[in-house]
Structure 1
């Protein structure tokens, strides 16, 4: 046993076992050349306007590698996006700073700049910068776009920075202002060669997005799940966060802050990411909350889940369901006994239908023992709907790693 209590195996035996699991999870998985190691689901933001600004964004990767690439998105933009200068570096000792000695210039098709068409995305050239698993990275880029709306992610769970002009290579950006949102940066992929590796994508809403988690603390449930997976897989399997605050399974608007529906965006945010071989679907609370009074959306949700499952399986991705967590006490605009009945029907279907490859009982992990329609006070983030750091950890710890890595991991 190791100090962490994990059982170890010889590197050869472990590699063979993980190869076998990946081969079952997705054809050709063991030959993947890159793996999604950080992600941000893209929607549309009204403010602030970052055109002509350098944006410095911070991200903690999951799986490490000798090289990595960046994914930028203009997929909800209405005008061309120019990326005029981009750099990556390790964070510095003071907030918003970087270690200049670790700075690397980012290129696109060998050039320093690129223009991204509306509705499109772009992937950078590989950056030769070896990174260990769970390394924090700073991405600084100067953006220019005439689009009146910004492409980004409202709740970044990080403190990022913007400054007018080009400051991408500076240790401390002069004139910088803090923001809790992310802009244009949609993903980071690690180059892992032909070593067996993979990623679990966590599709969800604000609970997956980590609302009320400690900003910059990496305390969302996908963060904790990534730590568990990496420790149990010799740092070859991680997790990415495909949560989006306000998102719904059934409805949505790609040109709004809540983004396209989960059914519509799963192809981009999950199946379009390299090395994703497993998917956790944990979404539906917003559909129940926002349904017109007296409307039972359980059947619609179940049908929509079926479409997400079908898309995942067509792509060779194993798909897991997570039961919906309690929200009694969130207020009359959110909760009613009728809406609780819908949640119970949806959860009962998840537990008994066999539609998913496995079901993770997030509801049981965080509900109050005496009042099962409510969150356990220890895990309540304060609004009786979202969780605190301990609650998000409880969700991650409710995932049996054997369902992903196989028995005897």
Structure 2
């Protein structure tokens, strides 16, 4: 091989490696790409005798159809696919995007085929991520779309977004990505997998990223109804004329600020860069995190799968130091960051004192660019340690649909939606 040929081959290999690396997500993104929908992945525990809640569906040689709701309109799209936490290559043999026709059905023979470097199939190495090529498809904000992925013959599901509050589908064996009817999609599951972002070409657009734990994830909100607080905020933005602003939900149920979990994903302080800052178009972040850090130290250890491990005790000072790290990371990337106060959770006095100290710091330190006072919006005036009855889903921690709507109403929308452009 000549020196010139060798250099070309090495260059091609390097470009291929960069294209599938997490760092390439932002670096390669043109300024007009704006994230319209996104989710955050967490590893699936890999051990024997998992509880049914953590058993993944069989996807090898089958088609996975996921329903997503973009929050910003456009007519040129691209899809972001992630093999985070993968130990083997992620193989997608065909991927299509279509407007949903309800349930597992899709309009227009499965919609448009999405390619990767001009090819219908893609192989992404362990830990890699990749954007698709641009494709023409009209995206209407607030409308459901079906993302259909025909998976490789040995593909396993090792990472997901566990609490999607959305019914998704797995087919019988075979390529059903182009099926308009949903008859082949015999299995339902309520997680998201592999597809972690949908971007649209909107030169004047911007994205607000909501990140946190189960209260951002929408735990105990109505299934298939989009009643999480980021959903309600997206509707409010559209209603009040902020049609060029998307809102994406990057909450993970059980997530903590400072500690990783075998079930609930990387600590927010570690995943913030990947899950927020690497998405194109993000100008503002809203952070609600810390109640699990306070609570998990008091959870009893469990034999077998202990999702609450490590049972680490934290102080208000520990949490504040973690918030400051996240704030610094956002500011270094030119992203404005709003801190949300921790909502009432009927905590015993010692843990409640930590929550109150954290909220006092969020409100008064001026470390964040702004404050969203979810605590004030949800607390019972007569018993501030508790949620208002009408905002309580029943477990005294997670809001009801009405509570999530009240959270969206509490956000200072002009400040959040009108962040300076980078």
Q: Which of 335, 341, 359 is 1:323 aligned to? A: 341
Counterpart in 2 of 1:351?
Answer: 363
Q: Secondary structure of 2:152's match?
A: strand
Deviation of residue 148 (structure 1)?
Answer: 5.8
1:185 and 1:145, CA in 2 relative to 1: closer, same or farther beyond 3 A? farther
Counterpart in 2 of 1:23?
Answer: none
What is the alpha-carbon distance in structure 2 between the residues aligned to residue 62 and residue 175 of structure 1? 26
Q: Contact 1:109 / 1:125 at 8 angstroms: preserved in 2?
A: yes
Q: Contact 2:169 / 2:185 at 8 angstroms: preserved in 1?
A: no
1:150 and 1:296, CA in 2 relative to 1: closer, same or farther beyond 3 A? closer
Answering whether residue 147 of structure 2 is matched by residue 142 of structure 1, we say no
Deviation of residue 99 (structure 1)?
Answer: 1.4
Q: Contact 1:49 / 1:150 at 8 angstroms: preserved in 2?
A: no
What is the alpha-carbon distance in structure 2 between the residues aligned to residue 107 and residue 318 of structure 1? 34
Q: Contact 1:202 / 1:208 at 8 angstroms: preserved in 2?
A: yes
| Root-mean-square deviation (Å) | 1.8
1:307 and 1:343, CA in 2 relative to 1: closer, same or farther beyond 3 A? same
Larger deviation: 351-360 or 286-295?
286-295
Q: Secondary structure of 1:369's match?
A: coil
Q: Secondary structure of 2:235's match?
A: helix
**Following superposition of structure 1 onto structure 2, how do residues 12-91 of structure 1 map, counting pairs within 5 Å?**
32-45=31-44, 46-91=55-100
What is the alpha-carbon distance in structure 1 between the residues aligned to residue 265 and residue 390 of structure 2? 31
Deviation of residue 150 (structure 1)?
Answer: 1.8
Deviation of residue 121 (structure 1)?
Answer: 0.9
Q: Secondary structure of 2:148's match?
A: strand
Q: Contact 1:58 / 1:136 at 8 angstroms: preserved in 2?
A: yes
Deviation of residue 295 (structure 1)?
Answer: 4.1
What is the alpha-carbon distance in structure 2 between the residues aligned to residue 74 and residue 144 of structure 1? 13
Counterpart in 2 of 1:19?
Answer: none
What is the alpha-carbon distance in structure 1 between the residues aligned to residue 130 and residue 263 of structure 2? 21
Deviation of residue 252 (structure 1)?
Answer: 0.8
Counterpart in 2 of 1:174?
Answer: 184
What is the alpha-carbon distance in structure 1 between the residues aligned to residue 400 and residue 197 of structure 2? 25
What is the alpha-carbon distance in structure 1 between the residues aligned to residue 205 and residue 185 of structure 2? 41
How many residue pairs match? The answer is: 366
Deviation of residue 233 (structure 1)?
Answer: 4.0
Counterpart in 2 of 1:283?
Answer: 289
- Output the TM-score relative to the length of structure 2: 0.83
Deviation of residue 340 (structure 1)?
Answer: 0.9
What is the alpha-carbon distance in structure 2 between the residues aligned to residue 346 and residue 383 of structure 1? 22
- Output the TM-score relative to the length of structure 1: 0.86
Q: Secondary structure of 1:268's match?
A: helix
Deviation of residue 173 (structure 1)?
Answer: 4.3
Larger deviation: 227-236 or 292-301?
292-301
1:300 and 1:145, CA in 2 relative to 1: closer, same or farther beyond 3 A? farther
Deviation of residue 229 (structure 1)?
Answer: 1.9
Q: Where does structure 2 lack aligned partners over 5 or more consecutive residues? A: 1-29, 45-54, 300-311
What is the alpha-carbon distance in structure 1 between the residues aligned to residue 193 and residue 313 of structure 2? 36
